């Protein structure tokens, strides 16, 4: 039986009336995305048709999921909200703080020792406030959610950008910052700009070396890392129905890499099979009763160009296997073209590591497809030329895969089976074979491949592919290996061509597990005591940010003008810094240390206008803060791309940054800045970015008139006394301006709770 089945049945009991009302108000057939959005309005049945990409709308999500790295700050904020229990079903999953090094058994013991304080804190807070707790080793948050909590037609939010993975089971699942999650935990509405809609029509059927992963690798190449910003991607067509549920999850998962609000698929037979296989026949039965409302209307899919803001068509029968990268997940290259492209770009051809797993590709089907390739190498006496690492998606997946002999196949190739956790995907990897900044290549089935992300080395060229392609390339040891045409040499000197991969959608003997790793909260957590040591380097109770004084911001100093791509990894790195995710002051020492200074093209080396000397970004920021001087960060396009980590907004706020002025924002990061009481604004004319000089001082001369849809005027005073004045746009509505006035959204919640 499913968790929270009564909640799911309640959602379904309301859906028909709400969808029918929305269809009548909107005056046309509805997409699946619209059905889910309109059936989750905070006000209930809709009274108006919302404008896509324009109207801010209050929603009522069904549930929340948090991973351990982001949960710390989210729960530290929730503790200030003055609530006895979370208002909606919520879970915490410990998957980020486990470093991959020696293998699952040793690595898990090490993590439980090194992060004991954090795990104990998360478990105790969960126990106190009615939150389900998944202990270390239980699995990767998004795989665990898909196996246990996701349900067709539902809406959930999660404090991780890849929450969107649950779209594989027909949800609208959206990644948010912790402050957004706190709103919903506290029983308040969750605000989102009504998304635009991108339709992806899939025809044909996948075969051979082409997999579901190649669909999203292709889409990423089409849309680029910001092409989906502000939109939901809805997949449909015969090709969509032909894919497995976990394959759909893979596609939705990596939709975060194109900036999409989320991605989703309509309910179909593959989802019903998956629900039944994961002991949720009750959910499948309930979904079947309202099946027509759990997919888009027939008219929509018959004439999609009339109902979507953008339409992409992909014939799966013609789709080729891809590798995307390096350094960005949208640089798409068909395997057949890699040999030429790698040579043209001087990418290292020798592959040192092949890594399979992450929240994107760690299902039972993924492991079987990769194992079908690995077994050929074992049987034909082909020794893998690259090191191999495997991260199963959950303890259920691991236990079942071990029972069915899949893990032994990888071990026969000398692969290391890491913990059921994120590991190398989020920089939790103690990679012993590389030191310094040596240029090298790795291939993985993850979702992101930003510079330094996996191992901290800026010269690691990481390429993203399907698990079976990663397996083939790791066995060959070469980036330019095309398994559809290139042969491998056996130990006996024979040249052989690998057979096409084969996969098993669901385990024939069913899923099995001894201990899934779940700990239910106490029915009454009022007596639970949460302790945070004053001298802890891992955890720190939060102090409220100061409210705005209502005056214009004058004399604001430039902290850094970031050049080019500046993701949340650049703003607040993961890897070893994950240990400080619950301690705002300590983790602020990584603020913007990965951003490239536009004036000297160096990282973590900026000029202080107080001393005239250069130092690290956090050190300079702390000196400005100590002197009572507010600062500004200037950035390029899609600023804040990547992870939902709100630390990338909280750290600048903590160290005195009041304004972030960029050419364009990634959606989640812009919201996170707003939630923390900062000004996130964009150049009205992006060429004004070029006016900014190293010793500039900024005056926001009409901030006292801050209002929706009214641009702000910025006066920039240069070192020689000359000035430039230009306009900056913003997307703040009245309630978001109130967050700014009060110093943060959390401050406003506390005021409202105490009223």
Tens of pLDDT, residue by residue over 348-374, are 999 999 999 999 999 999 999 999 999
Q: How far is CA 219 from CA 21, 134, 448, 638, in A?
A: 33, 33, 15, 18
In this prediction, residues 554-576 reach a mean pLDDT of 95
Helix spans in 545-696 (H): 568-571, 584-587, 617-626, 647-654, 667-675
pLDDT higher than 90, residue 82: no
Place 435 in a pLDDT band, splitting at 50, 70 and 90. Answer: confident
Q: Is 95 a catalytic residue?
A: yes
Place 645 in a pLDDT band, splitting at 50, 70 and 90. Answer: confident
Q: To 10 degrees, the CA torsion angle through 147, 148, 152, 153? A: -140
Place 1 in a pLDDT band, splitting at 50, 70 and 90. Answer: low
Please state, in angstroms and rounded to a whole number, the distance separating the CA atoms of residues 16 and 556.
53
In this prediction, residues 212-226 reach a mean pLDDT of 97
Lowest mean pLDDT segment, chosen from 320-324, 431-435, 597-601: 431-435
pLDDT higher than 90, residue 286: yes
Q: How many CB atoms lie within 10 A of CB 716?
A: 21
Place 755 in a pLDDT band, splitting at 50, 70 and 90. Answer: low
Predicted confidence (pLDDT) per residue in 120-160, tens digit: 999 999 999 999 999 999 999 999 999 999 999 999 999 99
Please compute, for residue 45, the number of CA atoms within 13 A of its CA located in the half-sphere on the CB side: 12
Question: If we measure between CA atoms, which residue out of 167, 173, 169, 174 comes closest to residue 234?
Answer: 167
Question: If we measure between CA atoms, which residue out of 267, 313, 314 comes closest to residue 294?
Answer: 267
pLDDT above 90: percentage of residues in the chain: 95
The DSSP element (H or E) to which 19 belongs, if any, is helix 5-26
pLDDT higher than 80, residue 576: yes
CB 42 within 8 A of CB 183: no
The DSSP element (H or E) to which 728 belongs, if any, is strand 723-729
Catalytic residue, from 4, 68, 107, 160: name it: 160
Q: Is 643 a catalytic residue?
A: yes
Catalytic residue, from 96, 538, 583, 654: name it: 96
Question: If we measure between CA atoms, which residue out of 692, 713, 702 comes closest to residue 607?
Answer: 692
Length of the chain equals: 755
Place 33 in a pLDDT band, splitting at 50, 70 and 90. Answer: very high
CB 529 within 8 A of CB 147: no
In this prediction, residues 598-613 reach a mean pLDDT of 98
- Phi, psi (5° rounding) for residue 446? -80, -160
CB 624 within 8 A of CB 656: yes
Catalytic residue, from 4, 62, 68, 95: name it: 95
Q: Is 110 a catalytic residue?
A: no
pLDDT at 752: 81
Please state, in angstroms and rounded to a whole number, the distance separating the CA atoms of residues 332 and 216.
10
Please state, in angstroms and rounded to a whole number, the distance separating the CA atoms of residues 689 and 598.
11
Q: Is 238 a catalytic residue?
A: no
Q: To 10 degrees, the CA torsion angle through 103, 105, 108, 112? A: -140
Predicted confidence (pLDDT) per residue in 477-531, tens digit: 999 999 999 999 999 999 999 999 999 999 999 999 999 999 999 999 999 999 8
Catalytic residue, from 241, 448, 478, 637: name it: 448
CB 675 within 8 A of CB 600: no
Catalytic residue, from 162, 322, 579, 645: name it: 645
Global pTM value:
0.92
pLDDT higher than 90, residue 164: yes
Tokens of 593: 């240390």
Please state, in angstroms and rounded to a whole number, the distance separating the CA atoms of residues 132 and 58.
26
Please state, in angstroms and rounded to a whole number, the distance separating the CA atoms of residues 745 and 77.
10
pLDDT at 81: 85
Enumerate helices (H) and strands (E) in the chain, giving the number of each.
25, 30
Q: Is 645 a catalytic residue?
A: yes
pLDDT at 47: 95
Tokens of 63: 């549930």
């Amino acid at each position: 039986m499913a968790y929270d089945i009564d909640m799911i049945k309640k959602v379904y009991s309301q859906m028909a009336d709400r969808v029918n009302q929305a269809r009548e108000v909107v005056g046309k057939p509805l997409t699946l995305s619209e059905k889910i959005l309109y059936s989750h309005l905070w006000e209930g049945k809709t009274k108006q048709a919302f404008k896509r990409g324009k109207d801010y709308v209050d929603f009522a999500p069904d549930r929340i999921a948090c991973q351990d790295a982001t949960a710390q700050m989210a729960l530290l904020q929730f503790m200030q909200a003055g609530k006895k229990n979370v208002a909606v079903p919520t879970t915490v999953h410990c998957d980020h703080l486990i470093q991959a090094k020696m293998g699952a058994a040793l690595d898990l013991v090490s993590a439980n020792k090194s992060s004991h304080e954090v795990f104990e804190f998360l478990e105790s807070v969960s126990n106190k406030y009615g939150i389900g707790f998944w202990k270390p080793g239980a699995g990767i948050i998004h795989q665990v959610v898909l196996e246990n909590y996701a349900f067709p037609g539902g809406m959930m939010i999660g404090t991780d950008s890849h929450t969107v993975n649950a779209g594989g089971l027909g949800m609208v699942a959206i990644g948010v910052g912790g402050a957004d999650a706190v709103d919903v935990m506290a029983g308040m509405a969750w605000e989102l700009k009504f998304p635009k809609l991108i339709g992806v029509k899939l025809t044909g059927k996948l075969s051979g070396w082409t997999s579901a992963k190649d669909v999203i690798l292709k889409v990423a190449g089409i849309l680029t890392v910001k092409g989906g910003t502000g939109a939901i991607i809805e997949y449909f067509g015969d090709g969509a129905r032909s894919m497995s549920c976990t394959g759909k999850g893979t596609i939705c998962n990596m939709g975060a890499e194109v900036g999409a609000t989320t991605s989703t698929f309509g309910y179909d037979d593959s989802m019903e099979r998956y629900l039944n296989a994961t002991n949720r026949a009750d959910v499948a039965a309930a979904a079947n009763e309202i099946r027509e409302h759990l997919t888009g209307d027939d008219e929509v899919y018959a004439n999609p160009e009339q109902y979507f803001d953008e339409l992409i068509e992909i014939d799966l029968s013609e789709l080729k296997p891809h590798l995307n990268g390096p350094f960005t997940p949208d640089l798409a290259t068909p395997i057949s073209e890699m040999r030429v492209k790698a040579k043209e770009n001087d990418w290292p051809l020798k592959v040192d590591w092949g890594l399979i797993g992450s929240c994107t590709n760690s299902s039972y089907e993924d492991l079987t497809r990769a194992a079908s390739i690995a077994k050929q190498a074992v049987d034909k006496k082909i020794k893998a030329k690259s090191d191999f690492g495997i991260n199963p998606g959950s303890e259920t997946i691991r236990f079942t895969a071990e029972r069915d002999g899949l893990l032994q196949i990888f071990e026969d190739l000398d692969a290391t089976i890491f913990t059921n956790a994120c590991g190398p995907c989020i920089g939790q990897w103690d990679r012993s074979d590389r030191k310094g900044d040596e240029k090298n290549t790795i291939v993985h089935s993850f979702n992101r491949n930003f510079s330094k992300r996996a191992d901290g080395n800026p010269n690691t060229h990481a390429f993203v592919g399907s698990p079976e392609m990663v397996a083939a390339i790791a066995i060959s040891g070469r980036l330019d290996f095309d398994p559809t045409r290139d042969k491998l040499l056996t130990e006996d000197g024979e040249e052989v061509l690998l057979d096409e991969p084969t996969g098993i959608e669901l385990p024939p003997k069913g899923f099995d597990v001894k201990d899934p790793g779940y700990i239910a909260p106490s029915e009454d957590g009022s007596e639970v005591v949460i302790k945070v040591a004053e001298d802890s380097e891992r955890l720190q109770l939060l102090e409220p940010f100061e409210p705005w004084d209502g005056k214009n911001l004058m004399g604001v100093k430039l902290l850094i003008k970031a050049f080019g791509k500046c993701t949340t990894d650049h703003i607040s790195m993961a890897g070893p810094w994950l240990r400080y995710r619950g301690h705002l002051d300590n983790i602020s020492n990584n603020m913007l240390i990965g951003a490239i200074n536009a004036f000297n093209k160096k990282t973590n080396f900026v000029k202080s206008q107080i001393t005239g000397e250069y130092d690290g970004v956090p050190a300079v920021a702390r000196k400005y803060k100590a002197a009572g001087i507010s600062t500004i960060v200037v950035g390029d396009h899609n600023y804040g791309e990547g992870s939902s980590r709100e630390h990338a907004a909280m750290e600048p706020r903590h160290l005195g940054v009041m304004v972030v002025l960029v050419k364009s924002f990634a959606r989640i990061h812009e919201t996170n800045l707003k939630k923390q009481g900062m000004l996130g604004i964009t150049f009205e004319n992006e060429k004004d970015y070029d006016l900014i000089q190293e010793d500039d001082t900024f005056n926001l001369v009409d901030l006292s008139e801050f209002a929706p849809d009214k641009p702000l005027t910025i006066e920039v005073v240069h070192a020689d006394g000359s000035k430039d004045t230009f306009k900056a746009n913003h997307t703040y509505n009245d309630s978001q301006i109130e967050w700014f006035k009060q110093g943060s959204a959390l401050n406003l919640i506390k005021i409202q709770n105490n009223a």
